[in-house]
Structure 1
Amino acid sequence: MRIHVLQHVPFEGPAAIGEWAERNGHPITKTQLYETTKVPAQSDFDWLVVMGGPMGVYDQAEHPWLEPEKAFIAETIAAGKRVVGVCLGSQLIAEVLGGRVYRNPRKEIGWLPITLTDAGRASSVTGVLPETLDVFHWHGDTFELPEGAVHLARSAACEHQIFLYDNRVLALQCHLESTPESVRDIVEMCADEIVPSASIQSAERMLAASDADFARMHEQLFGLLDRFAAAA
């Protein structure tokens, strides 16, 4: 299985998704959209993974590659391939599928829990997760659930955390893929967003996560991706 990654900034790469791919023998290629807009032919990959970034889906004036990226995501979904979106990636998927993307009432930054919905507990994909799981977040936008999507998880600050569309398009608002290195990078690069509140933790708290915290989250991510790969 060949995985292609769309990356929007240097500090938000596939992280632990790359580890899962390596463990399973899945080669990864990347389009780093901050350097090039050249994307592969649909025949050159099997999965598309769309990563996060500090920009919004509506920032086409500053990032003109957003419009062709959306067209490529839509083409990939129409081609019947599996697509995974993380944070900005989930928002791009939501918009492509007809959901409105907008500012969330509160930013959500740090280690905070998500909870499965009834559909999430029953899902063959997310049913592998515990009902409540502490995960890493860094987002200020959210989205309406696209028509036909199944709402799988929520958090206190953000209703739509995970959705599944047609059993082959998975949108993750949260960052299950984060590693100690990627958390350090985003804390450094986006430090201006850290204004501690009920849904924004301090840099010290975010960086205090243990190896066990990351291992627990990655175990859940790997199980989720295994189940997603096998979904009918």
Structure 2
Amino acid sequence: MILGILQTGHVPEQVAARDGTYTDLFGKLFAGRGFSLRTFSVVDMDFPTGPDAADAWLVTGSRHGAYEDHPWIAPLEALIREIRDLGRPMVGICFGHQIIAQALGGRVEKFTGGWSAGHRSYQIGGREVALFAWHQDQVVDLPEGATVLGANDFTQNAVIAHGAGILTVQPHPEFPPSVIDALIDNRPTTVPPEMLAQARADLQQPVDSAMMAEWLADVLQGAPATRIPFAQQVRA
């Protein structure tokens, strides 16, 4: 099964040297699930021929803002809508989460509440799920028909399903602790020092990346986005 990676940014050199590119990170996340990864560096204007160039699609993270004026933003949004209209499964991570929401009619902004960086917990499927986050931008208005499946007090729209075939998440299930460590070393000056110190102190806290990878992979392979495999069962 061909998984098309729509690469919307490049990882820092320190991350690439230790953990590889976005393609490498997602290759490790989905290892053993039967995906053959094909990367299109849309941030460099390398686009696929169309939405049928892969069986399923993934939109990566990026240092850019979905609302910024870059020549690749509009064609990426058009491609996202084409993928949706064709019915191909799609997932988005961090920037991917944001640009998919924006392309489908939602709104993204630089959040006035500041940054979320490091180990974070979210309520998903009736249980607490821990993942690494690294973002200031947020989805603040949902597109029509979107369903929020995960949130915490800081990020109200942390996990979103857009219909049956599109699932997006704000945090980074593909990030191991070493990536967060490198991002701390190459931090934007706007991230509060105390947040960075806490992020470093929490590097060895357990995260539920494998559990999230199962859900994302299921959606990419055709499962409904709203079917959360690890959701707690509520007894009648």
TM-score (norm 2): 0.80
SS of 2:98 mapped into structure 1: helix
What is the rounded CA distance, in whole Å, between the counterparts of 2:36 and 2:138 in structure 1? 31
1:82, distance to aligned residue in structure 2 (A): 0.6
1:67-216 map, 5 Å: 67-106=74-113, 107-116=115-124, 120-121=125-126, 131-143=127-139, 144-196=141-193, 201-203=195-197, 205-206=199-200, 209-210=203-204, 213=206, 216=207
SS of 2:153 mapped into structure 1: coil
1:142, distance to aligned residue in structure 2 (A): 1.3
Cα contact 1:37–1:65 (8 A) shared by 2 = no
What is the rounded CA distance, in whole Å, between the counterparts of 2:181 and 2:41 in structure 1? 20
Distance change (3 Å), C-alpha of 1:196 and 1:190: closer
Give the match for residue 125 of structure 1: none
Matched, 1:222 2:213: yes
1:190, distance to aligned residue in structure 2 (A): 3.4
TM-score (norm 1): 0.81
1:137, distance to aligned residue in structure 2 (A): 0.8
What is the rounded CA distance, in whole Å, between the counterparts of 2:65 and 2:117 in structure 1? 16
- The one-letter code sitting in structure 1 at the alignment partner of 2:134 is W
What is the rounded CA distance, in whole Å, between the counterparts of 1:91 and 1:156 in structure 2? 18
What is the rounded CA distance, in whole Å, between the counterparts of 1:202 and 1:35 in structure 2? 30
What is the rounded CA distance, in whole Å, between the counterparts of 2:172 and 2:110 in structure 1? 18
Distance change (3 Å), C-alpha of 1:207 and 1:49: farther
1:15, distance to aligned residue in structure 2 (A): 5.2
1:50 to 40, 59, 65: 59
1:196, distance to aligned residue in structure 2 (A): 3.6
Cα contact 1:21–1:27 (8 A) shared by 2 = no
What is the rounded CA distance, in whole Å, between the counterparts of 1:65 and 1:205 in structure 2? 32
Distance change (3 Å), C-alpha of 1:189 and 1:10: farther
Question: Percent same amino acid among aligned pairs?
Answer: 24
Structure 2 spans left out of the alignment, 5+ residues: 12-20, 225-236
